[in-house]
Structure formats: structure tokens, C-alpha cells
């Protein structure tokens, strides 16, 4: 299981601190999976991250539950769970596609030119499909996060226009993703449950 936390810094500063980073102490918390025992520190693992202005390995703090034998990893909020690309890079290329460019090839090329992060059109297509599949839960989460009186998209718009309107309303991608994860334990790209 992965839990997100606000690192309070960018990936480069986080990487510099490495294992000496002031990670949140989870040892006084019950296991979020079984709730039967307290978590214990369980070392680190290295994870590769690619995002705007950064590409490299970062340390991820792990905890272990002796009761259910499962681990919990603390992921900084600039990462995206189970993705090599960071949150700002993913959001940026999606915004480039839906708001500015119009085609996957053009969006990937323009994003590389402006942000220096390379995306294939296949990867962008994968991210688009996930966002479109999760659109209803995204709309509800953004409505809650920003305390909107009504959903931020036109009801009769096609799916691409709804995603465009939704992405246009997000003021801080990192903050909204972190809040969405806190509210729903899901992210923009999380598979819908069957």
C-alpha cells in the first residue's frame, strides 16, 4: 500500500536529503490495512522519477505491519503512485493535449519543447484513457476539493471537452491530486474498481 505525504520541497531537494529526509513518523499509527498492529520502520527502496526539471532515483520510506505482514510506503506528493512520471509531468502533458495541442504527437512534442520531458504518444494515450475512464470520480473529487456549488463541466459536452474543462479548473495539480488521494485513496489514473 502507498500513502502520500506533502514533502514540502521539490524532487531535487528531496533527493539531496535522501534517507535523512524528515519523513512523517508512522510508527504511532495503526496499520491502515488491518488496523491490528502499529507500523514499524522497514527501511527504504529506491524509485526512479521523471518530472519537470528532474530525472533520477529517490528514496521511499517503508513501514511494515507484523500482524498482516504487509508494507506501507510513503510517497512524496510530487510522485504519482505506480508511475515513473511525476504528477506535474503527467498533468502537464494531459493539459497540453486537452487544452492546447489537439493531437497526441503535437502535444508530446510541444511538452518536450517547453518542459524537457519526453512522452510517447502511446503513453499519452494510456494516460488519456485512464483520465477519461475516471472522469466521473474526478469531477466529484474536484467539486469537493474546491467546494464548488456545481460540477465544473458542462453536462452535455463530449468527453474530451469535459476533460478540458476539468483540467482548466484545477489550480494546483499537485495539491488537488494530494487532496483527492486523501479523500478517496485514488488518483487521476487509478483503475476503476470492477
pLDDT at position 193 over 60: no
pTM equals: 0.86
pLDDT attached to residue 181: 84
pLDDT tens per residue across span 89-103: 999 999 999 988 678
Residue 60, SS3 per DSSP? strand
d(CA 34, CA 184): 18
175: three-class secondary structure by DSSP: helix
Across the range 5-26, mean pLDDT stands at 93
| 191: confidence class by pLDDT, cuts 50, 70, 90 | low
Residue 71 has pLDDT above 90, yes or no: yes
- Identify the DSSP state of 57: E
* Cell numbers describing residue 86: 511525476
Residue 173 to residue 27: CA distance in whole angstroms: 29
Task: Specify the higher pLDDT residue, 101 or 38.
Answer: 38
Q: Locate cell 524528515: which residue?
A: 22
Q: What is the mean pLDDT of residues 142-147?
A: 86
Report which of 81, 70, 60 is spatially closest to residue 33, judged by C-alpha positions. 70
Tens-digit pLDDT profile for residues 85-134? 998 999 999 999 998 867 899 999 999 999 999 999 999 999 999 999 98
Amino acid at each position: 500500500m502507498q500513502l502520500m505525504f506533502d514533502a514540502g520541497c521539490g524532487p531535487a531537494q528531496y533527493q539531496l536529503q535522501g534517507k535523512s529526509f524528515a519523513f512523517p513518523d508512522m510508527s504511532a499509527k495503526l496499520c491502515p490495512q488491518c488496523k491490528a498492529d502499529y507500523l514499524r520502520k522497514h527501511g527504504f527502496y529506491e524509485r526512479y522519477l521523471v518530472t519537470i526539471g528532474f530525472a533520477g532515483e529517490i528514496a521511499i520510506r517503508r513501514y511494515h505491519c507484523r500482524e498482516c505482514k504487509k508494507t506501507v510506503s510513503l510517497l512524496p506528493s510530487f510522485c504519482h503512485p505506480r508511475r515513473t512520471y511525476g504528477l506535474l509531468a503527467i498533468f502537464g502533458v494531459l493539459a497540453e493535449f486537452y487544452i492546447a495541442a489537439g493531437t497526441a504527437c503535437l502535444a508530446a512534442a510541444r511538452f518536450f519543447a517547453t518542459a524537457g520531458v519526453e512522452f510517447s504518444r502511446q503513453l499519452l494515450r494510456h494516460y488519456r484513457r485512464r483520465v477519461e475512464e475516471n472522469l466521473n470520480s474526478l469531477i466529484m473529487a474536484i467539486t469537493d476539493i474546491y467546494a464548488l456549488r456545481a460540477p465544473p463541466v458542462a453536462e452535455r459536452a463530449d468527453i474530451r471537452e469535459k476533460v478540458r474543462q476539468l483540467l482548466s479548473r484545477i489550480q494546483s495539480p499537485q495539491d488537488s491530486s494530494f487532496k483527492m488521494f486523501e479523500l478517496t485513496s485514488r488518483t487521476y489514473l487509478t483503475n476503476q474498481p470492477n
